[in-house]
Structure 1
Protein backbone atom coordinates (compact mmCIF):
# COMPACT_ATOMS: atom_id res chain seq x y z
CA UNK A 1 0.00 0.00 0.00
CA UNK A 2 1.22 3.50 -0.85
CA UNK A 3 2.08 5.60 2.20
CA UNK A 4 -0.63 8.24 1.65
CA UNK A 5 -3.38 5.88 0.48
CA UNK A 6 -6.73 7.05 1.83
CA UNK A 7 -5.31 10.49 2.72
CA UNK A 8 -6.43 13.87 1.40
CA UNK A 9 -3.98 16.77 1.02
CA UNK A 10 -4.34 20.45 0.22
CA UNK A 11 -1.25 21.99 -1.37
CA UNK A 12 -1.05 25.77 -1.72
CA UNK A 13 1.45 27.86 -3.51
CA UNK A 14 4.53 28.01 -5.67
CA UNK A 15 3.85 30.17 -8.71
CA UNK A 16 3.05 33.87 -8.61
CA UNK A 17 0.55 35.31 -11.06
CA UNK A 18 0.42 38.98 -12.06
CA UNK A 19 -1.71 39.55 -8.97
CA UNK A 20 1.12 38.52 -6.67
CA UNK A 21 -0.50 35.30 -5.46
CA UNK A 22 1.12 31.93 -5.83
CA UNK A 23 -0.55 28.62 -6.69
CA UNK A 24 0.28 24.94 -6.55
CA UNK A 25 0.96 25.01 -10.29
CA UNK A 26 4.72 25.22 -10.69
CA UNK A 27 7.98 24.69 -8.83
CA UNK A 28 7.79 23.33 -5.29
CA UNK A 29 3.98 23.25 -5.15
CA UNK A 30 3.76 21.23 -8.33
CA UNK A 31 6.43 18.80 -7.12
CA UNK A 32 4.58 18.33 -3.82
CA UNK A 33 1.24 17.71 -5.51
CA UNK A 34 2.71 15.17 -7.93
CA UNK A 35 4.59 13.32 -5.18
CA UNK A 36 1.61 13.13 -2.84
CA UNK A 37 -0.64 11.89 -5.65
CA UNK A 38 1.90 9.26 -6.70
CA UNK A 39 2.01 8.11 -3.08
CA UNK A 40 -1.74 7.54 -3.02
CA UNK A 41 -3.20 10.83 -1.72
CA UNK A 42 -6.14 12.66 -3.21
CA UNK A 43 -4.90 16.19 -3.77
CA UNK A 44 -6.44 19.65 -3.94
CA UNK A 45 -4.34 22.13 -5.92
CA UNK A 46 -5.14 25.81 -5.84
CA UNK A 47 -4.23 29.11 -7.43
CA UNK A 48 -5.37 31.86 -9.76
CA UNK A 49 -3.69 30.65 -12.95
CA UNK A 50 -6.10 28.20 -14.58
CA UNK A 51 -3.66 27.18 -17.32
CA UNK A 52 -0.88 26.23 -14.93
CA UNK A 53 -3.20 24.42 -12.58
CA UNK A 54 -4.44 22.35 -15.50
CA UNK A 55 -0.81 21.65 -16.50
CA UNK A 56 -0.17 20.35 -12.98
CA UNK A 57 -3.28 18.19 -13.08
CA UNK A 58 -2.27 16.67 -16.41
CA UNK A 59 1.22 15.93 -15.10
CA UNK A 60 -0.36 14.10 -12.17
CA UNK A 61 -2.68 12.15 -14.46
CA UNK A 62 0.27 11.15 -16.65
CA UNK A 63 1.67 9.39 -13.58
CA UNK A 64 -1.29 7.01 -13.73
CA UNK A 65 -3.42 8.88 -11.20
CA UNK A 66 -7.21 8.98 -11.80
CA UNK A 67 -8.48 12.47 -12.65
CA UNK A 68 -11.03 12.26 -9.85
CA UNK A 69 -8.14 12.16 -7.34
CA UNK A 70 -7.18 15.75 -8.24
CA UNK A 71 -9.29 18.78 -7.39
CA UNK A 72 -8.47 22.14 -9.01
CA UNK A 73 -9.68 25.25 -7.22
CA UNK A 74 -9.07 28.64 -8.81
CA UNK A 75 -9.16 31.13 -5.95
CA UNK A 76 -7.33 33.82 -3.99
CA UNK A 77 -5.65 32.14 -1.02
CA UNK A 78 -5.41 35.45 0.88
CA UNK A 79 -9.16 36.08 0.87
CA UNK A 80 -11.57 34.67 3.41
CA UNK A 81 -13.98 33.66 0.67
CA UNK A 82 -11.21 31.90 -1.23
CA UNK A 83 -10.11 29.97 1.83
CA UNK A 84 -13.69 28.94 2.63
CA UNK A 85 -14.09 27.68 -0.93
CA UNK A 86 -10.82 25.76 -0.71
CA UNK A 87 -11.74 23.96 2.52
CA UNK A 88 -15.41 23.41 1.76
CA UNK A 89 -14.93 22.05 -1.77
CA UNK A 90 -12.17 19.72 -0.57
CA UNK A 91 -14.43 18.29 2.13
CA UNK A 92 -17.43 18.07 -0.22
CA UNK A 93 -15.34 16.29 -2.87
CA UNK A 94 -13.11 14.02 -0.80
CA UNK A 95 -14.91 13.85 2.56
CA UNK A 96 -11.90 14.57 4.78
CA UNK A 97 -8.61 16.47 5.17
CA UNK A 98 -5.44 14.81 6.45
CA UNK A 99 -2.57 17.02 5.28
CA UNK A 100 -2.31 20.78 4.83
CA UNK A 101 0.80 22.04 3.07
CA UNK A 102 1.03 25.84 3.41
CA UNK A 103 3.41 26.54 0.56
CA UNK A 104 2.01 29.82 -0.80
CA UNK A 105 4.40 32.71 -0.42
CA UNK A 106 6.66 35.15 -2.20
CA UNK A 107 8.66 38.34 -1.81
CA UNK A 108 7.65 41.74 -3.17
CA UNK A 109 10.03 44.20 -4.79
CA UNK A 110 9.67 47.90 -4.02
CA UNK A 111 8.24 49.76 -7.00
CA UNK A 112 11.06 52.31 -6.74
CA UNK A 113 13.79 49.73 -6.21
CA UNK A 114 14.28 50.57 -2.52
CA UNK A 115 15.55 47.91 -0.13
CA UNK A 116 16.13 47.54 3.60
CA UNK A 117 14.34 49.91 5.93
CA UNK A 118 13.55 52.27 3.04
CA UNK A 119 11.27 49.77 1.29
CA UNK A 120 7.68 50.95 0.99
CA UNK A 121 5.63 49.92 4.01
CA UNK A 122 2.86 48.66 1.72
CA UNK A 123 5.21 45.82 0.76
CA UNK A 124 5.33 44.79 4.42
CA UNK A 125 1.55 44.60 4.50
CA UNK A 126 1.47 42.48 1.34
CA UNK A 127 4.22 40.19 2.59
CA UNK A 128 2.63 39.63 5.99
CA UNK A 129 -0.78 39.08 4.38
CA UNK A 130 0.45 36.36 2.02
CA UNK A 131 3.34 34.75 3.91
CA UNK A 132 1.90 34.80 7.43
CA UNK A 133 -1.70 35.92 7.85
CA UNK A 134 -3.16 33.69 5.12
CA UNK A 135 -1.47 30.65 6.66
CA UNK A 136 -2.82 31.45 10.12
CA UNK A 137 -6.38 31.92 8.91
CA UNK A 138 -6.31 28.87 6.60
CA UNK A 139 -5.02 26.78 9.49
CA UNK A 140 -7.87 28.01 11.66
CA UNK A 141 -10.39 26.95 9.04
CA UNK A 142 -8.77 23.56 8.46
CA UNK A 143 -8.32 22.80 12.19
CA UNK A 144 -11.63 20.99 12.71
CA UNK A 145 -11.01 18.53 9.88
CA UNK A 146 -7.36 17.97 10.72
CA UNK A 147 -8.31 17.14 14.32
CA UNK A 148 -10.88 14.63 13.06
CA UNK A 149 -8.18 12.97 10.92
CA UNK A 150 -5.33 13.36 13.44
CA UNK A 151 -3.56 15.04 10.56
CA UNK A 152 -0.44 16.93 9.64
CA UNK A 153 0.44 20.54 8.77
CA UNK A 154 3.67 21.38 6.96
CA UNK A 155 4.50 25.05 6.47
CA UNK A 156 7.07 26.29 3.98
CA UNK A 157 9.30 28.98 5.44
CA UNK A 158 12.59 30.30 4.05
CA UNK A 159 16.26 30.70 4.84
CA UNK A 160 15.47 34.44 4.68
CA UNK A 161 13.81 34.10 8.11
CA UNK A 162 17.25 34.14 9.73
CA UNK A 163 19.06 34.12 12.07
CA UNK A 164 21.28 35.87 9.52
CA UNK A 165 20.11 39.22 8.15
CA UNK A 166 18.34 39.55 4.80
CA UNK A 167 18.23 43.30 4.08
CA UNK A 168 17.35 42.96 0.38
CA UNK A 169 14.16 41.07 1.33
CA UNK A 170 13.65 42.51 4.80
CA UNK A 171 9.85 42.23 4.87
CA UNK A 172 9.82 38.75 3.34
CA UNK A 173 12.29 37.62 6.00
CA UNK A 174 10.18 39.19 8.74
CA UNK A 175 7.04 37.46 7.50
CA UNK A 176 8.76 34.08 7.31
CA UNK A 177 10.29 34.54 10.77
CA UNK A 178 6.77 35.15 12.08
CA UNK A 179 5.70 31.96 10.30
CA UNK A 180 8.43 30.02 12.12
CA UNK A 181 7.07 31.23 15.46
CA UNK A 182 3.56 30.32 14.38
CA UNK A 183 4.81 26.82 13.51
CA UNK A 184 6.31 26.35 16.98
CA UNK A 185 3.32 27.72 18.85
CA UNK A 186 0.68 26.02 16.72
CA UNK A 187 2.54 22.73 17.14
CA UNK A 188 2.18 22.87 20.92
CA UNK A 189 -1.42 24.03 20.68
CA UNK A 190 -2.51 21.31 18.24
CA UNK A 191 -0.50 18.28 19.32
CA UNK A 192 -2.86 17.85 22.27
CA UNK A 193 -5.52 17.17 19.62
CA UNK A 194 -3.26 14.77 17.75
CA UNK A 195 -2.31 17.19 14.95
CA UNK A 196 1.39 17.66 14.17
CA UNK A 197 2.78 20.94 12.81
CA UNK A 198 6.24 21.30 11.28
CA UNK A 199 8.00 23.46 8.74
CA UNK A 200 10.74 23.36 6.10
CA UNK A 201 13.14 26.21 5.41
CA UNK A 202 14.52 26.07 1.86
CA UNK A 203 17.57 27.90 0.63
CA UNK A 204 18.12 28.55 -3.07
CA UNK A 205 15.86 26.32 -5.19
CA UNK A 206 15.43 26.27 -8.96
CA UNK A 207 11.80 27.37 -9.16
CA UNK A 208 9.79 30.24 -10.59
CA UNK A 209 10.89 32.51 -7.73
CA UNK A 210 12.84 34.71 -10.16
CA UNK A 211 9.61 35.43 -11.96
CA UNK A 212 7.83 36.22 -8.70
CA UNK A 213 10.26 39.06 -8.07
CA UNK A 214 10.11 40.15 -11.72
CA UNK A 215 13.59 38.90 -12.59
CA UNK A 216 14.19 37.63 -16.11
CA UNK A 217 14.98 33.94 -16.62
CA UNK A 218 18.50 34.82 -17.81
CA UNK A 219 19.19 37.05 -14.83
CA UNK A 220 17.87 34.45 -12.38
CA UNK A 221 19.94 31.69 -13.96
CA UNK A 222 23.05 33.90 -13.83
CA UNK A 223 22.42 34.53 -10.12
CA UNK A 224 21.93 30.81 -9.46
CA UNK A 225 25.13 29.85 -11.27
CA UNK A 226 27.07 32.49 -9.37
CA UNK A 227 25.80 31.21 -6.04
CA UNK A 228 26.47 27.59 -6.98
CA UNK A 229 30.08 28.39 -7.78
CA UNK A 230 30.78 30.16 -4.49
CA UNK A 231 31.08 28.08 -1.31
CA UNK A 232 30.13 31.15 0.71
CA UNK A 233 26.62 30.76 -0.69
CA UNK A 234 26.07 27.03 -1.15
CA UNK A 235 28.69 24.66 0.34
CA UNK A 236 27.39 21.64 -1.57
CA UNK A 237 27.87 23.48 -4.87
CA UNK A 238 24.38 23.26 -6.33
CA UNK A 239 20.94 24.77 -5.97
CA UNK A 240 18.10 22.61 -4.74
CA UNK A 241 15.41 21.15 -6.97
CA UNK A 242 11.68 21.34 -6.19
CA UNK A 243 11.68 17.57 -5.71
CA UNK A 244 14.24 17.92 -2.89
CA UNK A 245 11.83 20.11 -0.94
CA UNK A 246 8.84 17.93 -1.80
CA UNK A 247 10.61 14.83 -0.45
CA UNK A 248 11.26 16.50 2.91
CA UNK A 249 7.66 17.73 3.12
CA UNK A 250 6.41 14.22 2.39
CA UNK A 251 8.67 12.89 5.15
CA UNK A 252 7.19 15.37 7.64
CA UNK A 253 3.66 14.50 6.50
CA UNK A 254 4.33 10.78 7.01
CA UNK A 255 3.57 10.00 10.64
CA UNK A 256 5.15 6.56 10.44
CA UNK A 257 8.51 8.09 9.58
CA UNK A 258 8.47 11.38 11.51
CA UNK A 259 6.04 10.93 14.38
CA UNK A 260 8.40 12.33 17.03
CA UNK A 261 9.19 15.54 15.12
CA UNK A 262 6.94 18.29 16.40
CA UNK A 263 7.14 22.05 15.86
CA UNK A 264 10.48 22.00 14.05
CA UNK A 265 11.63 24.16 11.15
CA UNK A 266 14.10 22.03 9.19
CA UNK A 267 16.65 23.75 6.97
CA UNK A 268 17.08 22.32 3.48
CA UNK A 269 19.64 24.58 1.87
CA UNK A 270 22.76 22.67 0.83
CA UNK A 271 24.55 23.86 3.96
CA UNK A 272 24.06 27.59 3.33
CA UNK A 273 22.77 28.34 6.83
CA UNK A 274 25.98 26.89 8.35
CA UNK A 275 28.29 29.39 6.68
CA UNK A 276 29.90 32.35 8.43
CA UNK A 277 31.56 35.16 6.49
CA UNK A 278 35.04 34.06 7.54
CA UNK A 279 34.40 30.66 5.95
CA UNK A 280 34.19 32.26 2.52
CA UNK A 281 37.97 32.43 2.46
CA UNK A 282 40.73 29.84 2.57
CA UNK A 283 42.39 30.68 5.87
CA UNK A 284 45.69 29.12 4.79
CA UNK A 285 45.84 31.51 1.86
CA UNK A 286 45.00 34.40 4.18
CA UNK A 287 47.80 33.41 6.56
CA UNK A 288 50.30 33.09 3.73
CA UNK A 289 49.51 36.61 2.58
CA UNK A 290 50.44 38.11 5.94
Structure 2
Protein backbone atom coordinates (compact mmCIF):
# COMPACT_ATOMS: atom_id res chain seq x y z
CA UNK A 1 0.00 0.00 0.00
CA UNK A 2 1.33 3.51 -0.82
CA UNK A 3 2.72 5.15 2.33
CA UNK A 4 0.47 8.22 2.13
CA UNK A 5 -2.69 6.36 1.17
CA UNK A 6 -5.70 8.08 2.74
CA UNK A 7 -3.64 11.13 3.75
CA UNK A 8 -4.40 14.67 2.59
CA UNK A 9 -1.69 17.25 2.00
CA UNK A 10 -1.82 20.97 1.23
CA UNK A 11 1.23 22.26 -0.66
CA UNK A 12 1.51 26.02 -1.03
CA UNK A 13 3.42 27.35 -4.02
CA UNK A 14 2.84 24.18 -6.02
CA UNK A 15 2.47 25.76 -9.46
CA UNK A 16 6.12 25.02 -10.25
CA UNK A 17 9.50 24.00 -8.86
CA UNK A 18 9.80 22.24 -5.52
CA UNK A 19 6.08 22.48 -4.77
CA UNK A 20 5.11 20.92 -8.07
CA UNK A 21 7.61 18.10 -7.60
CA UNK A 22 6.36 17.46 -4.06
CA UNK A 23 2.76 17.37 -5.27
CA UNK A 24 3.64 14.74 -7.86
CA UNK A 25 5.56 12.56 -5.40
CA UNK A 26 2.87 12.78 -2.71
CA UNK A 27 0.13 11.94 -5.20
CA UNK A 28 2.09 9.03 -6.65
CA UNK A 29 2.53 7.74 -3.11
CA UNK A 30 -1.22 7.70 -2.48
CA UNK A 31 -1.99 11.13 -1.02
CA UNK A 32 -4.85 13.47 -1.82
CA UNK A 33 -3.23 16.77 -2.74
CA UNK A 34 -4.35 20.38 -2.72
CA UNK A 35 -2.19 22.31 -5.15
CA UNK A 36 -2.24 26.08 -5.09
CA UNK A 37 -0.62 29.21 -6.45
CA UNK A 38 -1.46 32.56 -8.01
CA UNK A 39 -0.64 31.61 -11.60
CA UNK A 40 -3.60 29.62 -12.93
CA UNK A 41 -1.84 28.50 -16.12
CA UNK A 42 1.13 27.02 -14.29
CA UNK A 43 -1.18 25.47 -11.71
CA UNK A 44 -3.14 23.74 -14.47
CA UNK A 45 0.21 22.45 -15.79
CA UNK A 46 0.85 20.91 -12.37
CA UNK A 47 -2.54 19.22 -12.39
CA UNK A 48 -1.98 17.89 -15.90
CA UNK A 49 1.38 16.50 -14.82
CA UNK A 50 -0.33 14.62 -12.00
CA UNK A 51 -3.14 13.34 -14.20
CA UNK A 52 -0.74 12.17 -16.91
CA UNK A 53 1.15 10.17 -14.29
CA UNK A 54 -2.03 8.22 -13.55
CA UNK A 55 -3.43 10.21 -10.64
CA UNK A 56 -7.23 10.48 -10.52
CA UNK A 57 -8.92 13.88 -10.58
CA UNK A 58 -10.67 12.75 -7.41
CA UNK A 59 -7.33 13.00 -5.62
CA UNK A 60 -6.42 16.52 -6.77
CA UNK A 61 -7.82 19.81 -5.49
CA UNK A 62 -6.71 22.84 -7.52
CA UNK A 63 -7.06 26.23 -5.83
CA UNK A 64 -5.96 29.46 -7.50
CA UNK A 65 -5.28 31.68 -4.50
CA UNK A 66 -2.86 34.15 -2.96
CA UNK A 67 -1.58 32.48 0.19
CA UNK A 68 -0.53 35.85 1.62
CA UNK A 69 -4.19 36.87 1.96
CA UNK A 70 -6.60 35.70 4.61
CA UNK A 71 -9.17 34.98 1.89
CA UNK A 72 -6.73 32.77 0.02
CA UNK A 73 -5.76 30.86 3.16
CA UNK A 74 -9.39 30.30 4.11
CA UNK A 75 -10.18 29.03 0.62
CA UNK A 76 -7.35 26.50 0.84
CA UNK A 77 -8.57 25.12 4.15
CA UNK A 78 -12.26 25.13 3.21
CA UNK A 79 -11.94 23.46 -0.20
CA UNK A 80 -9.55 20.83 1.13
CA UNK A 81 -11.94 19.90 3.92
CA UNK A 82 -14.92 19.92 1.56
CA UNK A 83 -13.23 17.61 -0.94
CA UNK A 84 -11.15 15.32 1.26
CA UNK A 85 -12.65 15.62 4.74
CA UNK A 86 -9.48 16.44 6.66
CA UNK A 87 -5.88 17.66 6.60
CA UNK A 88 -2.93 15.43 7.50
CA UNK A 89 0.07 17.31 6.13
CA UNK A 90 0.78 20.99 5.53
CA UNK A 91 3.74 21.91 3.35
CA UNK A 92 4.51 25.62 3.62
CA UNK A 93 6.52 25.94 0.43
CA UNK A 94 5.45 29.28 -1.08
CA UNK A 95 8.21 31.88 -0.99
CA UNK A 96 10.11 34.43 -3.03
CA UNK A 97 13.11 36.74 -2.93
CA UNK A 98 11.22 39.90 -3.83
CA UNK A 99 13.04 42.43 -5.95
CA UNK A 100 12.85 46.04 -4.84
CA UNK A 101 10.89 48.10 -7.42
CA UNK A 102 13.79 50.58 -7.56
CA UNK A 103 16.18 47.70 -8.38
CA UNK A 104 18.32 48.42 -5.33
CA UNK A 105 19.81 45.82 -2.99
CA UNK A 106 21.21 45.64 0.51
CA UNK A 107 20.32 48.35 3.00
CA UNK A 108 18.83 50.56 0.27
CA UNK A 109 15.80 48.32 -0.19
CA UNK A 110 12.51 49.94 0.75
CA UNK A 111 10.50 49.17 3.84
CA UNK A 112 7.64 48.20 1.52
CA UNK A 113 9.86 45.48 0.07
CA UNK A 114 10.60 44.33 3.60
CA UNK A 115 6.92 44.04 4.49
CA UNK A 116 6.08 42.19 1.26
CA UNK A 117 9.02 39.81 1.73
CA UNK A 118 8.03 39.01 5.31
CA UNK A 119 4.38 38.57 4.38
CA UNK A 120 5.21 36.11 1.60
CA UNK A 121 7.94 34.07 3.28
CA UNK A 122 7.00 34.20 6.95
CA UNK A 123 3.63 35.68 7.89
CA UNK A 124 1.74 33.39 5.49
CA UNK A 125 3.34 30.38 7.20
CA UNK A 126 2.19 31.58 10.61
CA UNK A 127 -1.36 32.11 9.36
CA UNK A 128 -1.58 28.81 7.49
CA UNK A 129 -0.25 26.99 10.56
CA UNK A 130 -2.85 28.63 12.79
CA UNK A 131 -5.70 27.83 10.41
CA UNK A 132 -4.65 24.24 9.78
CA UNK A 133 -3.78 23.58 13.44
CA UNK A 134 -7.11 22.14 14.69
CA UNK A 135 -7.33 19.80 11.70
CA UNK A 136 -3.72 18.67 12.08
CA UNK A 137 -4.28 18.03 15.79
CA UNK A 138 -7.27 15.89 14.90
CA UNK A 139 -5.18 13.83 12.46
CA UNK A 140 -1.93 13.90 14.49
CA UNK A 141 -0.38 15.36 11.38
CA UNK A 142 2.78 16.92 10.06
CA UNK A 143 4.01 20.35 9.00
CA UNK A 144 7.00 20.77 6.71
CA UNK A 145 8.31 24.29 6.11
CA UNK A 146 10.57 25.10 3.18
CA UNK A 147 13.26 27.51 4.33
CA UNK A 148 16.61 28.33 2.69
CA UNK A 149 20.32 28.41 3.40
CA UNK A 150 20.04 32.23 3.25
CA UNK A 151 18.80 31.95 6.85
CA UNK A 152 22.45 32.06 7.89
CA UNK A 153 24.68 32.27 9.75
CA UNK A 154 26.40 33.73 6.70
CA UNK A 155 25.52 37.29 5.69
CA UNK A 156 23.18 37.92 2.74
CA UNK A 157 24.00 41.48 1.62
CA UNK A 158 22.16 41.17 -1.70
CA UNK A 159 18.92 39.84 -0.18
CA UNK A 160 18.83 41.10 3.38
CA UNK A 161 15.07 40.88 3.86
CA UNK A 162 14.80 37.43 2.34
CA UNK A 163 17.52 36.19 4.69
CA UNK A 164 15.74 37.77 7.65
CA UNK A 165 12.45 36.12 6.69
CA UNK A 166 13.96 32.66 6.37
CA UNK A 167 15.91 33.04 9.62
CA UNK A 168 12.63 33.92 11.32
CA UNK A 169 11.01 30.89 9.69
CA UNK A 170 13.70 28.60 11.14
CA UNK A 171 13.04 29.94 14.62
CA UNK A 172 9.29 29.59 14.08
CA UNK A 173 9.84 25.97 13.03
CA UNK A 174 11.72 25.24 16.24
CA UNK A 175 9.28 27.03 18.51
CA UNK A 176 6.06 25.83 16.88
CA UNK A 177 7.44 22.28 16.92
CA UNK A 178 7.67 22.31 20.70
CA UNK A 179 4.27 23.96 21.01
CA UNK A 180 2.54 21.43 18.75
CA UNK A 181 4.30 18.17 19.60
CA UNK A 182 2.29 18.04 22.82
CA UNK A 183 -0.75 17.62 20.56
CA UNK A 184 0.94 14.96 18.44
CA UNK A 185 1.76 17.30 15.53
CA UNK A 186 5.34 17.35 14.23
CA UNK A 187 6.94 20.41 12.63
CA UNK A 188 10.21 20.29 10.68
CA UNK A 189 11.78 22.07 7.73
CA UNK A 190 14.20 21.77 4.85
CA UNK A 191 16.69 24.44 3.77
CA UNK A 192 17.62 24.16 0.10
CA UNK A 193 20.69 25.68 -1.47
CA UNK A 194 20.64 26.60 -5.16
CA UNK A 195 17.91 24.60 -6.90
CA UNK A 196 16.97 24.83 -10.56
CA UNK A 197 13.43 26.25 -10.40
CA UNK A 198 11.62 29.36 -11.59
CA UNK A 199 12.83 31.16 -8.46
CA UNK A 200 15.46 33.39 -10.07
CA UNK A 201 13.16 33.99 -13.04
CA UNK A 202 10.67 35.50 -10.62
CA UNK A 203 13.46 37.83 -9.53
CA UNK A 204 13.70 39.14 -13.09
CA UNK A 205 16.37 36.95 -14.65
CA UNK A 206 15.87 35.84 -18.23
CA UNK A 207 16.40 32.21 -19.22
CA UNK A 208 19.92 32.99 -20.45
CA UNK A 209 20.73 34.88 -17.26
CA UNK A 210 19.40 32.00 -15.14
CA UNK A 211 21.52 29.49 -17.03
CA UNK A 212 24.59 31.66 -16.59
CA UNK A 213 23.85 32.14 -12.90
CA UNK A 214 23.38 28.45 -12.20
CA UNK A 215 26.24 27.40 -14.48
CA UNK A 216 28.71 29.71 -12.77
CA UNK A 217 27.96 28.45 -9.29
CA UNK A 218 27.88 24.79 -10.28
CA UNK A 219 31.30 25.10 -11.95
CA UNK A 220 32.95 26.71 -8.92
CA UNK A 221 33.74 24.27 -6.13
CA UNK A 222 33.93 27.07 -3.59
CA UNK A 223 30.25 27.74 -4.31
CA UNK A 224 28.84 24.22 -4.62
CA UNK A 225 31.34 21.48 -3.71
CA UNK A 226 29.09 18.82 -5.27
CA UNK A 227 29.51 20.58 -8.63
CA UNK A 228 25.83 20.38 -9.59
CA UNK A 229 22.71 22.49 -9.14
CA UNK A 230 19.98 20.87 -7.08
CA UNK A 231 16.79 19.70 -8.76
CA UNK A 232 13.26 20.14 -7.35
CA UNK A 233 12.88 16.43 -6.67
CA UNK A 234 16.00 16.50 -4.48
CA UNK A 235 14.14 18.75 -2.05
CA UNK A 236 10.74 17.15 -2.60
CA UNK A 237 12.08 13.78 -1.48
CA UNK A 238 13.24 15.33 1.79
CA UNK A 239 9.80 16.89 2.27
CA UNK A 240 8.20 13.46 1.90
CA UNK A 241 10.73 11.98 4.32
CA UNK A 242 9.88 14.59 6.95
CA UNK A 243 6.15 14.04 6.37
CA UNK A 244 6.51 10.28 6.83
CA UNK A 245 5.85 9.49 10.50
CA UNK A 246 7.30 5.99 10.14
CA UNK A 247 10.64 7.14 8.72
CA UNK A 248 11.22 10.38 10.64
CA UNK A 249 9.12 10.04 13.79
CA UNK A 250 11.89 11.12 16.16
CA UNK A 251 12.80 14.27 14.25
CA UNK A 252 11.09 17.29 15.81
CA UNK A 253 11.74 20.96 15.09
CA UNK A 254 14.80 20.35 12.93
CA UNK A 255 15.96 21.74 9.61
CA UNK A 256 17.61 19.49 7.05
CA UNK A 257 20.08 21.38 4.86
CA UNK A 258 20.27 20.21 1.22
CA UNK A 259 22.77 22.36 -0.63
CA UNK A 260 25.47 20.23 -2.22
CA UNK A 261 27.87 21.35 0.51
CA UNK A 262 27.52 25.10 -0.11
CA UNK A 263 27.16 26.14 3.52
CA UNK A 264 30.33 24.29 4.44
CA UNK A 265 32.34 26.71 2.30
CA UNK A 266 30.01 29.55 1.18
CA UNK A 267 32.42 30.81 -1.46
CA UNK A 268 29.45 32.08 -3.46
CA UNK A 269 29.42 35.10 -1.15
CA UNK A 270 32.75 36.18 -2.62
CA UNK A 271 31.24 36.59 -6.10
CA UNK A 272 29.18 39.51 -7.33
CA UNK A 273 25.97 38.47 -9.09
CA UNK A 274 25.95 41.51 -11.35
CA UNK A 275 29.46 40.67 -12.56
CA UNK A 276 28.47 37.06 -13.22
CA UNK A 277 25.49 38.05 -15.34
CA UNK A 278 27.35 40.73 -17.30
CA UNK A 279 30.31 38.51 -18.20
CA UNK A 280 30.54 37.19 -21.77
Q: Give the TM-score taking structure 2 as reference length.
A: 0.94
Q: SS of the counterpart of 1:73?
A: strand
Gaps of 5+ in 2: 271-280
Residue 4 of structure 2 aligns with which residue?
4
Q: 2:75 aligns with which of 81, 85, 91?
A: 85
Residue 180 of structure 2 corresponds to residue 190 of structure 1: yes
Q: 2:193 aligns with which of 196, 203, 208?
A: 203
Deviations 1:8-66 (A, max 9, x none): 000001xxxxxxxxxx1111110000000000000000112111111111110111111
Residue 36 of structure 2 aligns with which residue?
46
Gaps of 5+ in 1: 14-23, 281-290
Q: SS of the counterpart of 2:159?
A: helix
Q: 2:46 aligns with which of 56, 72, 77?
A: 56
Deviations 1:80-99 (A, max 9, x none): 11111110110011001000
Residue 143 of structure 1 aligns with which residue?
133
Q: Is the 8 A contact 2:73 2:128 kept in 1?
A: yes
Give the superposition deviation at 1:113. 2.2
Q: 2:248 aligns with which of 254, 258, 261?
A: 258
Deviations 1:180-232 (A, max 9, x none): 00000000000000000000000000000121101111001101000001011
Q: Give the TM-score taking structure 1 as reference length.
A: 0.91
Q: SS of the counterpart of 1:154?
A: strand
Q: Within 1, Cα distance between the matches of 2:83 and 2:39?
A: 21
Pairwise CA RMSD:
1.0
Residue 109 of structure 1 aligns with which residue?
99
Q: Within 2, Cα distance between the matches of 1:97 and 1:261?
A: 20
Q: Within 1, Cα distance between the matches of 2:159 and 2:107?
A: 10
